Structure 1
Amino acid sequence: MRASRAHRLYAACVLVLVLGLRRSEVLGLRRQDIDFEARHFTLVEQVQRVKGVGLVLKDLKTESSQAVLPLPEFCARALEERRELQELERKIAGEHWSQEPDHDLIFSSERGGMIDPVGFSRTFDPLVKAAGVRRITVRLARHTCGTLLAFLKVHPKVAQAILRHSRISMTMDVYTHVVGDDERDAVALLAELLEDPLIG
């Protein structure tokens, strides 16, 4: 059994939509960064492509980027499913599995390697198309998360902590955006698609 790329990155899409993570951050998430019992996680690393080197795991730059974030039940379930799938991928790959011990990435290729952020975007696009809504990029999905926090009347300082904006003015720019029916419908359809266990 070979998991499709969409299935492999299902939980990553959930984290982008629900918590507004950047694609480089979600791809740099390691097992040791997640506390399933306490239901929170810390973003420490990110995956980036460096010219002449390839994909590398780099420290996040600022303290605000490394904030401890809550792990909602829906996200925790998706990550636990990803963990099980990764164990299966590891068994299938056998001696071909290659991942540095301190990396222990949650989102890896079928042989344990890092996933290119650009490749993740290419996987995200078909999911949006399958949902039957207008095209939305990974970056816009992060913006949508902020917009929905505003719609739900979450305090701007709380939203700033979740989105890890360095300045409150960045959060307020999102909060001044008016949520229309199209956005509500789009997010509802995306959530419906992501909850479908047969995805991929």
Structure 2
Amino acid sequence: MRVVNQLAKVDTEKCNGCQTCAKICPVLAIKIVEKKAVVDSEMCRGCANCEQRCPQYAMKMVKREVPFTIYVDPTTVDATQLKALCAKARLNPEQIICYCTTTRAEEVAAAILKGAKSPEEISLQTGIRTGCKVECIQPVLRLLEAAGIEPERPDGYQWYGRTPTIWDIPEEVKKKYSSKGFYFEEDIKLLNQVAEAKTKGKEEK
């Protein structure tokens, strides 16, 4: 969930069309038209990445006249499918996977079950990746992969490929390093417990 209360504005006098803003926008809301950046105001999620990285200082965040909230309600999709998707991605549905927006795995899973097929579409619907953009891309890619979706990476710096997890480590590597202070099986067991845990005090639905 994210409350969108800012909008990126372009100073066309300063903008030289370098494309930096377009290449880092997490929702692809910026395009270069006739060597000037153009922001789609409906798509912009107010993350300020463009403002922070523009080498010409041509981007500025301004207050929206009418703020709005973006959120995908997990209860609007089939609960069994949602839990199965999260389990396949080895994530707890209630696990916060984006601390900037406090977005949980179940919300991203719901967005995918509703038809989102890329990190950009998921960000538009949930607000995930519109903060620091550092950690949350990996669980997003894991959930997309679990759904059988292989998104095409944009021509920019929005994200790169999925990094391996502990579950991806080959058995021969585990065997080689298990005697050198690496506790692969113990770590996997612990992480599986986290993924399968139920929130304390929450009724089973």
Higher helix proportion, which one? 1
What TM-score comes out, normalization by structure 1 length?
0.26
TM-score by length of 2: 0.25
Larger radius of gyration: 2
Q: As a proportion of its length, which structure holds more strand? A: 2
